[in-house]
A and B are shown apart, each in its own frame.
Chain A
């Protein structure tokens, strides 16, 4: 692949335009990380299972490793870097902090974005449904106990 096979794409990430030149095969995850410098989106498997790279595309949680950057022009993309409001943590971030919802923190951005996308559309989820949604992503440290607790607390705070 040489420079001339690259394609210019403008991505709208966290409300900001990023004009990047990428090979058509470059995934959205790699583009966010390497071309936009947004390294909060992590890569745990690069084949769509672990969910560490989950971001929001037009409000929907998606695996950024399963999309190409060239597919995403015109989409409203949101990553973990956009979650907090300045120094004020988003209720989901705060709940993860309060409830020890993270240990090594590698899967955390993916879980935060999964929960953010889900709670924005389903502010009052039932227990079974919440468990089913959170089983989309893998965490190797927490045994999921405190992730579930955190998202439950965040849902309450966000509803209030």
Chain B
């Protein structure tokens, strides 16, 4: 019996967060001075001069000459590096780019001072959209890249043109995904404290990867890494936005060292919307070749990603185009594939990973392909999918990705049954007779999760993330402390890891303390991102627990005079199987430290173990179904039902799993219908408040019905798969397919997301003018 895994244990993280005792960066400014960044008001131009009035402490790139620029690297011929000075140097490249920083006693004074800094910029021609940036003669964002091309990756199997020319049906379409902001409710920020006694600097920052931040800070500031400590307090959401290095954090650390004091930077919402990181600004052209039985034979895709003005560290701006290229086929079985995926630089805010990275968009593309094929073949969308989903495992995709066992067809069947497809089609027909437009949309997808260094190395990253290490110690009282390089911020890892460890060591999870987010106290690791922490940090925790358990069993076997393999450790006791003989785990712990003379020869005192885990990765899968009603008069969409059938392998804490799905789906609905960052033609950002950028409230989100399948992963030692991103990956396709299904009688094709009321109204009125 396994007592803790699979239990919906309430989270250990919660009590302080419920009582106002959470400690976020802005709560930790203490006596710090406040920084305020002076940001570029123009998209592109040459800095003529920067002037600060007397009495204002301000720094510019001139002062930060010794700080190296951020230079994210991939080692591959289809990637060209670009650099970002932490404060604009010589040139500005997007509205919101930091050009100077001021220091003052209070946030208000810092804002006042920043407004008095005069920045003279000679505006230059700018490029805002990706298609504009690749036009011959377009202004160059970076002087050494005349064509603005940073990534130009291609992949092609044999016989693509031949398969297309022999196809029974070719479906082709364009898809435009508008830019989003991950929008953690806590914006970014940090406090940097210089300690003159030790010469060390502590950066307390709202980030996802403390060790990576420490390394890059040391590199950029040219200082020993041992003189830096990065602490991550409570983090108010991140979703990828806090994974990549904020130039502002580098400046904050530099100012603290320069002034030998403590300074803080707390980003406001306007700055966050304007200049944190954006994502998913893509233009796709997709063709799919089908045989007469609606079997997909080949895909030919041209993917164009706007990567903004700079590349993000450490993953680089290759993250979106290269993931799109490699994972575009999703869960469908076809062998013939051609793709060109480009990342082009523009005078807009840089991109970084946002929950799902490219997969919400590529899933939308593949799922539109399936639905458009269904219309052409006049069969149910579910049937087209059934004929094309992968069903034998391990499956190797056209791009060489190996999918471990999943439940793609089963999840589809289960979702169709749960939503009641046939009944829905009847009500849909009845509603249409009354002039109402109901629609249903499916989304079947894979979510590549828990991947280690081998997967990142395949991208040729200069910085290759992947493994995680856990240091585990049982103290003499029998309590356990696990220190990790993963850096959870809302995912509940303090609870799920305690469940995993508690099971192996026979202690209650409440007696397992998880320590993370402090580079002085935790082993080097990569942080929390890419649906990895439960799988990888969990795997390392499991391995370390196994080692500690073996030692406990060895000590118990000597005490109980039984063979180690007969020792059962559970519920706080080590017992000899089939007998009443036993000893408390806490007693063993005390013995290991205080009576080490009784340990077997060669056994070290104490109870500690360290383990590292670096898996190749595992694929979760799911099917989402949305039903919607579209009002053709207003273009408004109401999501009536949302069904999720998720397979994330073994569930450690089902309550937390469902929470991840709820939140993920909601962000996916947001991307499908509401949220977009807009720029005007001059590169001015138009969406700098939450009255312009529209995250959904409870009024826009339906009840999300979650069903689980559990295909225990053979690829991970816990049997668990990751699922942090799945909700966001799958939901846009389900919603957009439902909207398209609702408007099918009007002959409308949705080529742009989010499908906002104004866009849908335009499509409906165009179809009224030109009836199909």
Question: Which residues of A approach B to under 8 Å, CB–CB?
Answer: 1, 23, 25-26, 30, 33, 38-47, 49-50, 52, 79-81, 83-84, 89, 93, 96-98, 100, 102-109, 112, 131-132, 134-148
Contacts and interface: CB of A to CB of B under 8 A. Distances in A.
Which residue, of A38, A98, A105, has the highest number of chain B Cβ atoms within 10 A?
A105
Place the interface of chain B in its size category. 35 or more
Interface stretch (B43-51, B182-190, B274-282): B182-190
B662 A44 contact: no
Given A40-B19, A89-B18, A140-B237, A100 B655 contact: yes
Interface in B691-728: 691, 695, 697-701, 703-704, 727
A83 B112 CA distance: 36
B663 A140 contact: yes
Contacts of A142: 659, 662-663, 666
B643 interface: no
A82 to B, nearest CB: 9
Contacts of A41: 20
A49 B689 contact: yes
A141 B108 CA distance: 30
A145 B698 CA distance: 8
Contacts of A106: 22, 24, 184-186, 234, 236-237
Which residue, of B667, B690, B698, B700, has the highest number of chain A Cβ atoms within 10 A?
B698
B690 A49 contact: yes
Contacts of A135: 697-700
A39 B20 contact: yes
Nearest to A47: B689
B53 interface: no
Nearest to A133: B698
B712 to A, nearest CB: 24
Given A140-B663, A143-B663, 13 more contacts: A26-B108, A43-B26, A44-B236, A46-B268, A46-B269, A81-B19, A96-B18, A97-B18, A103-B492, A137-B697, A140-B237, A140-B239, A143-B665
A138 B22 contact: no
B199 interface: no
Which residue, of A52, A134, A143, has the highest number of chain B Cβ atoms within 10 A?
A143
Contact of A45 (B237, B269, B700): B269
A39 B27 CA distance: 6
Contacts of B701: 143-145
Contacts of B695: 138, 140
Contacts of A131: 698-699
B592 interface: no
B20 A109 contact: yes
B10 interface: yes
B109 A1 contact: yes
B235 interface: yes
A138 B690 contact: yes
A104 B19 contact: no
Interface in B652-685: 655-656, 658-659, 661-667
Contact of A146 (B659, B697, B699): B659
B190 to A, nearest CB: 16
Q: Which 4 A-B pairs have the closest CB atoms?
A: A40-B20, A106-B236, A105-B17, A104-B490
Contacts, number: 172
Contact of A103 (B19, B663, B700): B663
B691 to A, nearest CB: 6
Given A106-B185, A140-B695, A89 B19 contact: yes
A110 to B, nearest CB: 9
Nearest to A104: B490
B667 A96 contact: no
A84 B236 CA distance: 22
A51 to B, nearest CB: 9
Interface of B: 10-11, 13-15, 17-24, 26-27, 107-109, 112, 183-187, 234-237, 239, 268-269, 489-492, 655-656, 658-659, 661-667, 689-691, 695, 697-701, 703-704, 727
Contacts of B15: 89, 97
A42 B24 contact: yes
A104 B689 contact: no
Contact of B667 (A25, A26, A50, A140): A140
A37 to B, nearest CB: 10
A93 B695 CA distance: 25
Which residue, of B14, B689, B701, has the highest number of chain A Cβ atoms within 10 A?
B14
Contacts of A93: 18-19
Contacts of B489: 104
Nearest to B184: A140
Contacts of B691: 47, 49
A112 B18 contact: yes
A23 B185 CA distance: 27
A103 B13 CA distance: 9
A102 B14 contact: yes
Contacts of A112: 18
A40 B667 CA distance: 26
A138 B697 contact: yes
Which residue, of A41, A42, A145, has the highest number of chain B Cβ atoms within 10 A?
A145
Nearest to A136: B697
Nearest to B691: A49
Given A26-B108, A145-B703, A148-B698, A102 B18 contact: yes
Nearest to B238: A104
Contacts of B23: 39
A52 B23 CA distance: 15
18 contacts: A40-B19, A47-B269, A52-B185, A80-B19, A97-B14, A97-B15, A100-B10, A105-B14, A106-B22, A106-B237, A140-B239, A140-B695, A141-B490, A141-B663, A142-B666, A143-B704, A144-B701, A145-B701
A140 B108 contact: no
Given A1-B108, A104-B236, A135-B698, A143 B22 contact: no
Contacts of A108: 17-18, 22
B107 to A, nearest CB: 8
Contacts of A98: 10
B267 to A, nearest CB: 11
